[in-house]
């Protein structure tokens, strides 16, 4: 099957038997449920965009030449990276960068692991290597939407998984059968769970020696027996899109995944209880460089949007005449521009890795990974500081259509916009920085790629230091007595 349309995507979601729990009920059909339908429809628009803009989104499948999304590409040239980036950007623009887990996120990940399947084979997972390649082809050619779970529940972060609650909480392999492996336990968060066809588990962080039972990687359909998902509160607003332009469409949901003796068929197992192969899968396949390429392209889009919002707000109310507001606007632009520059630098500096896969130069990506969890919340703060109380002076669509309209037109106008335009702009901005969804999105930015504290320490650890030391030493040598 080639790339799917939105309608095909929705009918796939509606027809499966996933166990998705929300607020005490089992959701029968996410496409029809009031809290989920808006985001399902917005997801479908991503699929339709493939055919609306095929030059950006589609490439011929290497299997049969049929059109498939370009983010499935196993990149061999810098142009492959640039083309993949253009599609990531185009999808990100559809939600102002507020959806972190559009399918490209995992398309890039799965392509990365499949492109370097040799890493698994080298570490004794020959079958896993074949399986990840077959899985990549399946996801690509069937245009599947995937979610993933990497992190274990927060029982006690100060000890290893096996010491937490007697080793009974974090998901682990508990048996092997003729048909596959059996896993049991929970994983903390699966963003996009209601809107995915498949769940994939792979190494997000490295495991210590001896943790082999936890070192499993596999993929299964969302309605696999024994698998259930427990959703958080919904931040989707069932409202007029005028009032909540983002919350009516872009709540991706985050759900805890519970595996109750789930049997994973052998042909879906990539790593079967082997710490060495598990850790190598992440490090030697250069996943970090590829996933940050996706992540920073999305973040760049969001920062561009944030700058656009802040600039338009400041022009509307005339506050961009003040020096300190200009400084705040400039600060947002810095973040957007440094992100763009970091992406250009990583792509221009890309080189083929040991497996012949072109791999972005990850130095700027490692820096951005530590900085972005600080920059995006700061941008929200800056937009609030620029907009002030105006975010609270935003009558609803019903007010706009009601008897108060005459007053609204007079008392809500601004220097740069009539009342309706001003209200629309401020409502959009509030949904970006202040609504429940915006709060969740801020938490997402702080944590989804690991927290800034640990990622910045890691950056120090990974930083090549010889050149820097040599610079200092050349001065020290001239200071000898």
Ligand X SMILES: Cc1cc2nc3c(=O)[nH]c(=O)nc-3n(C[C@H](O)[C@H](O)[C@H](O)COP(=O)(O)OP(=O)(O)OC[C@H]3O[C@@H](n4cnc5c(N)ncnc54)[C@H](O)[C@@H]3O)c2cc1C
**Helix and strand tally (H, E) in the chain?**
17, 14
Stretch of 82-90, 161-169, 172-180, 442-450 lying at the interface with ligand X (CB under 6 A):
442-450
| Window 127-146: residues binding ligand X (CB under 6 A) | none
CB of 217 to ligand X, least distance (A): 12
Question: Which member of 24, 25, 157, 466 binds ligand X (CB under 6 A)?
Answer: 157
Q: Pairing between strand 146-148 and 198-201?
A: parallel
Bridge partners (DSSP) listed for residue 447: none
**312, 421 Cβ separation under 8 angstroms:** no
Question: Which member of 150, 207, 230, 338 binds ligand X (CB under 6 A)?
Answer: 150
Q: CA geometry: angle at 164 spanning 24 and 196, to 5°?
A: 45
Stretch of 330-338, 417-425, 449-457, 473-481 lying at the interface with ligand X (CB under 6 A):
449-457
Query: If binding is defined by CB under 6 A, does position 430 make contact with ligand X?
Result: no
Bridge partners (DSSP) listed for residue 183: 173, 262
Query: If binding is defined by CB under 6 A, does position 407 make contact with ligand X?
Result: no
Number of residues that bind ligand X (CB under 6 A): 21
CB of 454 to ligand X, least distance (A): 5
- Which of residues 96 and 313 has its CB atom nearest to ligand X in the complex? 96
- Which of residues 305 and 448 has its CB atom nearest to ligand X in the complex? 448
Stretch of 110-118, 413-421, 425-433, 446-454 lying at the interface with ligand X (CB under 6 A):
446-454
- The tokens describing 419, both together, are 């009342």
Torsion angles phi and psi, residue 265, rounded to 5: -60, 150
- For the purposes of burial, counting CB atoms within 10 Å of the CB of 17, is it exposed (0-12), middle (13-18) or buried (19 or more)? exposed
- The tokens describing 17, both together, are 């038997």
Stretch of 174-182, 300-308, 386-394, 443-451 lying at the interface with ligand X (CB under 6 A):
443-451
- Rounded Cα gap, residues 350 and 368, in angstroms: 16
**382, 332 Cβ separation under 8 angstroms:** yes
Residues listed for the chain: 481
Query: If binding is defined by CB under 6 A, does position 408 make contact with ligand X?
Result: no
Rg, C-alpha atoms of the chain: 24
- Rounded Cα gap, residues 54 and 72, in angstroms: 14
Query: If binding is defined by CB under 6 A, does position 189 make contact with ligand X?
Result: yes
CB of 26 to ligand X, least distance (A): 21
Question: Which member of 1, 14, 26, 151 binds ligand X (CB under 6 A)?
Answer: 151
Query: If binding is defined by CB under 6 A, does position 163 make contact with ligand X?
Result: no
Query: What is the residue-wise DSSP string for 251-294?
Result: ---EEEEEEEEEEEEGGGEEEES-HHHHHHHHHTTTHHHHHHHH
Stretch of 55-63, 183-191, 295-303, 409-417 lying at the interface with ligand X (CB under 6 A):
183-191
Alpha carbon of residue 192 to chain centroid? 9
CB of 226 to ligand X, least distance (A): 19
CB of 192 to ligand X, least distance (A): 7
Cβ contacts of residue 395 below 8 Å, gap of 6+?
Answer: 404, 408, 412, 423
Query: If binding is defined by CB under 6 A, does position 159 make contact with ligand X?
Result: no
- Which of residues 249 and 440 has its CB atom nearest to ligand X in the complex? 440
| Window 249-268: residues binding ligand X (CB under 6 A) | 254
Query: If binding is defined by CB under 6 A, does position 123 make contact with ligand X?
Result: no
- The tokens describing 360, both together, are 């972005």
- Rounded Cα gap, residues 423 and 312, in angstroms: 12
CB of 27 to ligand X, least distance (A): 18
What residues line the site for ligand X (CB under 6 A)? Answer: 148-151, 154, 157, 188-191, 204, 254, 440, 443-444, 447-448, 450-451, 453-454
């Amino acid at each position: 099957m080639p790339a799917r349309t939105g309608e095909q995507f929705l009918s796939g979601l509606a027809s499966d038997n996933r166990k998705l729990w929300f607020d005490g009920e089992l959701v029968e059909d996410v496409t029809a449920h009031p809290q989920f339908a808006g985001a399902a429809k917005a997801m479908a628009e991503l699929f339709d965009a493939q055919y609306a803009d095929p030059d950006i989104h589609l490439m011929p499948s290497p299997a049969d030449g049929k059109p498939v999304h370009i983010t499935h590409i196993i990149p061999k040239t810098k142009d492959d990276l640039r083309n993949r980036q253009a599609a990531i950007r185009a999808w990100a623009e559809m939600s102002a960068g507020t959806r972190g887990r559009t399918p490209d996120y995992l398309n890039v990940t799965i392509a990365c692991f499949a492109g370097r399947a040799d890493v698994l084979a080298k570490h004794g997972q020959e079958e896993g290597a074949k399986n990840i390649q077959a899985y990549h082809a399946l996801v690509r050619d069937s245009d599947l939407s995937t979610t993933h779970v990497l992190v274990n529940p927060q029982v006690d972060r100060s000890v290893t998984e096996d010491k937490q609650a007697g080793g009974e909480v974090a998901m682990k392999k508990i048996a092997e059968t003729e048909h596959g492996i059996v896993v049991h336990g929970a994983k903390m968060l699966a963003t996009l769970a209601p809107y995915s066809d498949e769940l994939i588990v792979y190494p997000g962080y490295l495991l210590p020696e001896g943790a082999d039972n936890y070192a499993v990687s596999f993929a299964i359909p969302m309605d696999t027996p024994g698998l259930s998902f427990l959703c958080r509160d919904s931040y989707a607003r069932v409202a007029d899109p005028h009032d909540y332009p983002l919350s009516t469409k872009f709540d991706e949901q985050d759900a805890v995944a519970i595996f109750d003796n789930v049997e994973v068929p052998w042909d879906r197992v990539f790593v079967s209880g082997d710490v060495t192969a598990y850790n190598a899968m992440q490090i030697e396949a250069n996943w970090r460089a590829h996933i940050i390429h996706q992540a920073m392209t999305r973040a760049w889009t969001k920062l561009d949007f944030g700058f656009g919002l802040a600039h338009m707000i400041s022009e509307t109310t005339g506050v961009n005449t003040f020096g300190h507001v200009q400084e705040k606007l400039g600060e947002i632009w810095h973040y957007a521009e440094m992100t763009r520059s970091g992406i250009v630098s990583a792509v221009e500096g890309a080189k083929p890795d040991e497996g012949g896969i072109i791999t972005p130069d990850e130095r700027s990506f490692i820096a951005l990974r530590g900085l972005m969890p600080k920059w995006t919340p700061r941008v929200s703060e800056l937009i609030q500081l620029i907009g002030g109380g105006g975010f609270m002076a935003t009558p609803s669509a019903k007010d706009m259509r009601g008897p108060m309209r005459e007053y609204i037109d007079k008392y809500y106008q601004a220097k740069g916009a009539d009342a309706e335009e001003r209200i629309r702009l401020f409502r959009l901005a509030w949904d970006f920085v202040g609504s429940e969804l915006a709060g969740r999105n801020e938490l997402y930015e702080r944590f989804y790629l690991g927290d800034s504290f640990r990622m910045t320490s890691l950056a120090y650890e990974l930083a090549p230091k010889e050149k820097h030391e040599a610079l200092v030493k050349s001065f020290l040598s001239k200071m000898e007595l």
